[in-house]
Amino acid sequence: MTLRNKVAIVTGASRGIGKAITTQLSQQGVTVIGVYNKSIQAANELENTLNKKEKLVTLVQGEVSDRNFVQQLVKNTIQEYGAIDFLINNAGINRDSISFKMSEKDWNDVIETNFIGTYNFCSETIPYMVNEKKGHVVNMSSVTGVVGREAQTNYAASKGAIIGLTKLFSRMYASYGININTIAPGMIKTEILSSIPEQKLENFERYTSTKCLGTVEQVARAVILLISDENSYFNNTVFKLDGGFLR
């Protein structure tokens, strides 16, 4: 399997799962245009780390919910690199609350970043892939989008919508040689977990068959699996990576 000289756009690229995806793609020789929102220091550190031997990673600050920004980024990428082989929609936020206690702003922020951001990049990138008759798209959902979880109304809705969008687009564009899949991670060890009570993490582990949390590297390896041409029979797939989450 070789991905060298391919070009990828990765959103939410500077931290957590996105950082691991960007790292593993660059290690495979992929040119990565990563999108981040606020973590300027983390983005600079990642660029410096990954570009020591060869400049393969460029991180760009912007809002995935801003259609004009997305249009310009996709246009610039094609002009500069001549291709977009992979699109990894990973950017996401959470503003957890029970539905009747949730503010309108928290609802809108999560839907706009998680779902609208994914839709924007798909809408701008897939037409280019259609012209090229090839391409791979991986949209990051969540186990919450598959089964629904208490106090995550907006997050569950956004991640469930991503699954629906993936299924729709994969059916529409498979005949053009484009593979579109989604990964639904469970509880993954990232910086975000530091704000989650230990009891909640233990409860999640208790209701998985593996009795443990996942790692960002495991999610990144799943992305590599889904975008490799050798595994092109993967399409319209919800790839659950949740330790066998039971409820």
- Catalytically active residues are 155
Contacts of 10 (CB under 8 A, 6+ apart): 18, 21, 22, 25, 32, 33, 34, 35, 88, 90
